[in-house]
Amino acid sequence: MNFKVGTVALLVTISVSLILLISISPAQAQVANCSNCHTDYRAEGLKPSLCETCHDEPHSEWENSAHARSLEPAKYPFWQTSCEKCHVEKEIKENWGRTDIEENKVRTEPITCEICHAPPEGGYFEHFGAGPHGNEKPEVTLAPENLCGRCHTGSHHPTIGDWNEYAKENFNPEEEESHSEPTESYAMEDACVACKSAEGGIKNLEKPEIYDFNEEELPLAANVEEWRITCAVCHSPHEAELRTENVTQLCSNCHNSGEENLMAEKPVPAHHNQWEMIQGSIWMEGESHKKLNCSNCHMATREYDEEAGIPAVTGHSFDVNAELLGSENLAKEPKCVNCHVDLEATFESKESIIEDKIAEVESLKEETSSALSVENNPDLVSTYNEGLFYLSFVEHGKGIHNFGKASSFLDNSSSLLGSAKAGSKELQLEGAQSQLKETQKKLEGKYGISSVIIAVIVGLIVGGIAVWASRR
Specify the number of domains making up the chain: 3
- Per-residue confidence (pLDDT) for residue 235, from 0 to 100: 97
Residue 305's SS3 state is: strand
Q: Flag whether pLDDT at 324 surpasses 90.
A: yes
Domain final position from 103, 122, 140: 140
Instruction: Judge if 136 and 21 occupy the same domain.
Output: no
Q: How far is CA 238 from the centre of its chain?
A: 20
Identify the band that residue 117 occupies on the pLDDT scale cut at 50, 70 and 90: very high
Q: Flag whether pLDDT at 257 surpasses 70.
A: yes
- CB count within 10 Å of CB 237 equals 21
- Per-residue confidence (pLDDT) for residue 395, from 0 to 100: 78
Beta carbons of 210 and 250 less than 8 angstroms apart:
no
- Per-residue confidence (pLDDT) for residue 36, from 0 to 100: 52
Instruction: Judge if 66 and 15 occupy the same domain.
Output: no
Q: Mean pLDDT across the stretch 104-123?
A: 84
Beta bridge partners of 441: none
DSSP tag of 111: S
Beta bridge partners of 313: 302
DSSP run (H or E) holding 241: strand 241-242
Q: Flag whether pLDDT at 37 surpasses 60.
A: no
Instruction: Judge if 351 and 442 occupy the same domain.
Output: yes
Instruction: Judge if 464 and 350 occupy the same domain.
Output: yes
- Per-residue confidence (pLDDT) for residue 12, from 0 to 100: 46
Q: Flag whether pLDDT at 44 surpasses 90.
A: no
Instruction: Judge if 47 and 83 occupy the same domain.
Output: yes
- Per-residue confidence (pLDDT) for residue 73, from 0 to 100: 79
Residue 422 lies in a domain: yes
Residue 25 lies in a domain: yes
Identify the band that residue 99 occupies on the pLDDT scale cut at 50, 70 and 90: confident
Residue 384 lies in a domain: yes
Residue 313's SS3 state is: strand
Identify the band that residue 103 occupies on the pLDDT scale cut at 50, 70 and 90: confident
Instruction: Kindly report which listed range (29-43, 62-76, 234-248, 308-322) carries the lowest average pLDDT score.
Output: 29-43
- The residue type at 384: Y
Q: Flag whether pLDDT at 32 surpasses 60.
A: no
Find the length of the chain.
472
Could you give the CA distance from residue 125 to residue 128 in angstroms, rounded to a whole number? 5
Across the chain, what does the average pLDDT equal? 84
Domain span at 97: 38-140
Count of alpha carbons within 13 angstroms of residue 248, beta-carbon side: 15
Identify the band that residue 101 occupies on the pLDDT scale cut at 50, 70 and 90: confident
Instruction: Judge if 377 and 363 occupy the same domain.
Output: yes
Residue 329 lies in a domain: no
Residue 115's SS3 state is: helix
Q: Which of 92-96, 133-137, 188-192, 430-434 has the highest mean pLDDT?
A: 188-192
DSSP tag of 242: E
Residue 180 lies in a domain: no
Residue 122 lies in a domain: yes
Instruction: Judge if 348 and 403 occupy the same domain.
Output: yes
Task: Name the burial class of residue 136, with classes exposed (0-12), middle (13-18) and buried (19+) by CB atoms within 10 angstroms of its CB.
Answer: middle
- CB count within 10 Å of CB 352 equals 11
- CB count within 10 Å of CB 255 equals 19
Residue 371 lies in a domain: yes
- CB count within 10 Å of CB 133 equals 11
Beta carbons of 364 and 384 less than 8 angstroms apart:
no
Q: Flag whether pLDDT at 1 surpasses 90.
A: no
Identify the band that residue 23 occupies on the pLDDT scale cut at 50, 70 and 90: very low
Q: Which of 48-52, 200-204, 449-453 has the highest mean pLDDT?
A: 200-204
Task: Name the burial class of residue 404, with classes exposed (0-12), middle (13-18) and buried (19+) by CB atoms within 10 angstroms of its CB.
Answer: exposed
Instruction: Judge if 90 and 73 occupy the same domain.
Output: yes
Could you give the CA distance from residue 259 to residue 138 in angstroms, rounded to a whole number? 39
Domain final position from 95, 118, 140: 140
Q: Flag whether pLDDT at 24 surpasses 60.
A: no
- Per-residue confidence (pLDDT) for residue 463, from 0 to 100: 66
Higher pLDDT, 5 or 352: 352
Cβ-based neighbours of 247, under 8 Å, separated by 6 or more: 293, 294, 295
Instruction: Judge if 130 and 13 occupy the same domain.
Output: no
Q: What percent of the chain has pLDDT over 90?
A: 54
Phi, psi of 185 (to 5 degrees): -60, -35
Cβ-based neighbours of 387, under 8 Å, separated by 6 or more: 361, 365, 368, 412, 413, 414, 415, 416, 417, 420
Beta carbons of 120 and 136 less than 8 angstroms apart:
yes
Instruction: Judge if 377 and 413 occupy the same domain.
Output: yes
Residue 56's SS3 state is: helix
Residue 390 lies in a domain: yes
DSSP run (H or E) holding 236: strand 235-236
Q: Flag whether pLDDT at 224 surpasses 50.
A: yes
Minimal CA–CA distance to 106: which of 79, 158, 71, 74? 71
Instruction: Judge if 353 and 431 occupy the same domain.
Output: yes
- Per-residue confidence (pLDDT) for residue 206, from 0 to 100: 96
Instruction: Answer positive or negative: Cα dihedral of 255, 259, 265, 269.
Output: negative
Beta bridge partners of 310: 305
Domain final position from 140, 158, 190: 140
Beta bridge partners of 429: none
Q: Mean pLDDT across the stretch 307-318?
A: 94
- Per-residue confidence (pLDDT) for residue 124, from 0 to 100: 80
Identify the band that residue 461 occupies on the pLDDT scale cut at 50, 70 and 90: confident
Instruction: Judge if 15 and 120 occupy the same domain.
Output: no
- Per-residue confidence (pLDDT) for residue 443, from 0 to 100: 63
